[in-house]
Amino acid sequence: MPGHPTIDLRIRMSPQPRPKPAEFHVFDTTLRDGSQQEGLNLSVPDKLAIAALLDELGVGFIEGGWPGANPNDTSFFAAMADGALRLKNAQLVAFGFTRRVGMKAADDPLTAAVRDSRAPIACIVAKSHDRHVEQALRTTLAENLAMISDTVQHLRAEGQRVFVDCEHFFDGYRENPAYALEAVRVAAEAGAEVVVLCDTNGGMLPPWVGEIVTAASEVGVQLGVHTHNDSGCAVANALAAVDAGVMHVQGTVNGYGERTGNAELLSVVANLELKYGWPLLPAGSLREATRLAHAIAEVTNVPPSARQPYVGLSSFAHKAGLHASAIKVDPNLYQHIDPALVGNDMRMLVSDMAGRANIQIKGEELGFDLSDRELAARITDRVKDAEAAGYTYEAADASFELLLRRELGQLPEYFTVHSWRVFTQSTHGQETDTECTVRLTAKGQSQRVVGRATARSTPSITRYATRSFRPTRPSRSSSSSTTRCGSSTRVTAPTPPSGCSSRPRTASARGRLSALARTSSRPPGRRSATRTCTASSMVRRTSQ
């Protein structure tokens, strides 16, 4: 908001809970654990594209997948080794498992695939829950420890840095703390640089995480944390682990992951950078977080959550009139950070909950002076009346601008519709045929136009029939527009032609514009005595 004082909220958040560790790892596993999300499938080019975006964000480590476990991941590591992408900030990590039961690590083909991936770092998952060793792995507790030690030592001897993910560590600790800690100790003694404590089932709560990480700290190795969101606490649990001393946090951008997902890495990083004051990403990178999160969503083709903390479309959106009137005084009264710090923006929503302040702020955003209280109040009433009739403006700025222009007398009347008539015919085995006749006055003349198309709704065909009288859409979105985020399409509410009736609809009614777009590919309809407008031939006007 121009003209308002800005406050650096980071100052308010001090003092820091604890000083930043000398070394801190931001470890992204979007390409490995994140890709296990239902409905999320990544090709090798997808993985390369996401790796480039993660590297631009400035994470320290990118876990690229599990070489040897599936052809896609093997190809990705081969492409990376062949120089398909040069990482500027991050280091590539290959995921793998401890060697098979009863086999030497040097002879295990899956361990060999990790070793031969040419990734500088291996992240090996190991069992640390006694029940999982005996019931899932079906081996002895001693053999599991030998598997950890042998695998880590082998990869270290082959020149890779090694991190160890202790699977189900927190659940295992609660049932058999001695064995869980022994797994950590064995990994550390074998040469693991970081031992990552995993809440694999995602059921922990922050106080439990803090307590268990504190206990594990006694082993004396660098600790990390990997949390899932099944209890809705993945980010909170990661922060609790950080408070208890871990120096390595794993997570995924946009919280991708199996079931309810992994810890959302951008939230963890933003919290630590903006609330604790720890610089974790390269200078300025956090200001690109919103753009990069949405760019990654474009690649995954998973629609981003508008309500995602920090980077969601709605993260700094205000609807209530009470908020708006305070925000006019100081935007920071109703936001926890300056949205620009994460590359996001405050948005004022226009709805039936809007007060005069919402309307004035939104008008200012769109370049209109609504300081006249009477005018602002009148427009507020117009919006509330329209919303009561079923219209929705909060995702339709262009429609709101049209309403504003009409109230301000800035909306030209291109034509006046006097009447319209629609005739629909359905013939078995053929597409439904719809014909619309519109009587109107345009360019000073009374005219009659006929539009015809197949399977089209009444409002759209009336718009279609009258489109030659409409102005060309300018590049600025002063009329309908579409945007795509992930696989979703948002369509702003087109205003029906003057005089045409239209049933109430939401401004974000999907498919309205795409239905119009589809008409261009439809074949011309049959001819009739009155020449009709079809997809390829437009309008015949007959003076009355």
Binding site for Zn ion (CB under 5 A): 33
| Cis bond upstream, residue 15 (ω within 30) | yes
In the bound state with Zn ion, the residue whose beta carbon lies nearer, of 263 and 266, is 263
For residues 105 and 151, the answer to whether their CB atoms sit within 8 Å is yes
Do 151 and 115 form a contact (C-beta atoms < 8 A)? no
Q: Reduce the secondary structure of 305-367 to three states and give it as a string.
A: CCCCCCCCCCCCEECCHHHHHHHHHCHHHHCCCCHHHHCCCCEECCCCCCCHHHHHHHHHHCC
Residue closer to Zn ion, measured from CB, 98 or 460: 98
- If the CB atoms of residues 256 and 316 are measured against Zn ion, the closer one turns out to be 256
Residue position matching structure tokens 């958040």:
13
Tokens of 112: 């060999």
CB of 128 to Zn ion, least distance (A): 14
Helices (H), 25-82: 44-57, 71-81
Measured from the CB atom, the residue of 148 and 398 that comes closer to Zn ion is 148
Rounded Cα gap, residues 25 and 195, in angstroms: 12
CB nearest Zn ion: which residue?
A: 33
CA atoms within 13 A on the CB side of 195: 31
CA-wise closest residue to 58 among 347, 404, 292 = 292
| Cα 60 to Cα 62: distance, rounded to the nearest angstrom | 7
Q: In terms of CB distance, is 33 or 394 closer to Zn ion?
A: 33
Nearer to Zn ion, 169 or 391 (CB): 169
Closer CB to Zn ion, 252 or 519, in the complex: 252
- Give 473's Cβ-side CA count (13 Å radius): 12
Closer by beta carbon to Zn ion, 195 or else 493: 195
33/193 with CB nearer Zn ion: 33
Nearest distance from C-beta of residue 212 to Zn ion, angstroms: 17
**Between 266 and 359, CB nearer to Zn ion:** 266
Return phi, psi of residue 482, to 5°: -120, 150
Q: Which two tokens stand for residue 182?
A: 């022994």
Q: Which residues, including other chains, have CB under 8 Å from residue 119's CB and lie 6 or more apart? A: 64, 67, 77, 80, 92, 93, 94, 160
Q: How far is residue 109's CA from residue 390's CA, in Å, rounded to a whole number? A: 63
**Cα–Cα distance between 180 and 392 in angstroms, integer?**
55
Angle made by CA atoms 76, 82, 85, in degrees to the nearest 5: 70
Cα–Cα distance, 237 to 214 (Å, whole number): 13
- Name which of 33 and 150 has its Cβ closer to Zn ion: 33
Beta bridge partners of 489: 484
Using a 10 angstrom Cβ sphere, with 0-12 exposed, 13-18 middle and 19 or more buried, the burial of residue 107 is exposed
Instruction: Identify the helix (H) or strand (E) that includes residue 208.
Output: helix 206-216
If you ran DSSP here, which 8-state letter would residue 93 be given? E
Are the CB atoms for 95 and 65 separated by under 8 Å?
A: yes
Give min distance, CB of 123 to Zn ion, in A: 11
Cβ-based nearer residue to Zn ion, 123 or 324: 123
Residue type, 432: T
Q: Residue 200 Cβ, how far from Zn ion at the closest point, in Å?
A: 6
> From the CB of 262, what's the least distance to Zn ion, in Å?
6
460, 512 Cβ separation under 8 angstroms: yes
CA-to-CA distance for 191 and 154, rounded, in angstroms?
A: 10
Q: How far is the CB of 197 from Zn ion (least distance, A)?
A: 12
Is residue 195 within 8 Å of residue 201, measured between CB atoms?
Answer: no
Residue with tokens 């909220």: 9
Would you say 212 or 337 has its CB closer to Zn ion?
212
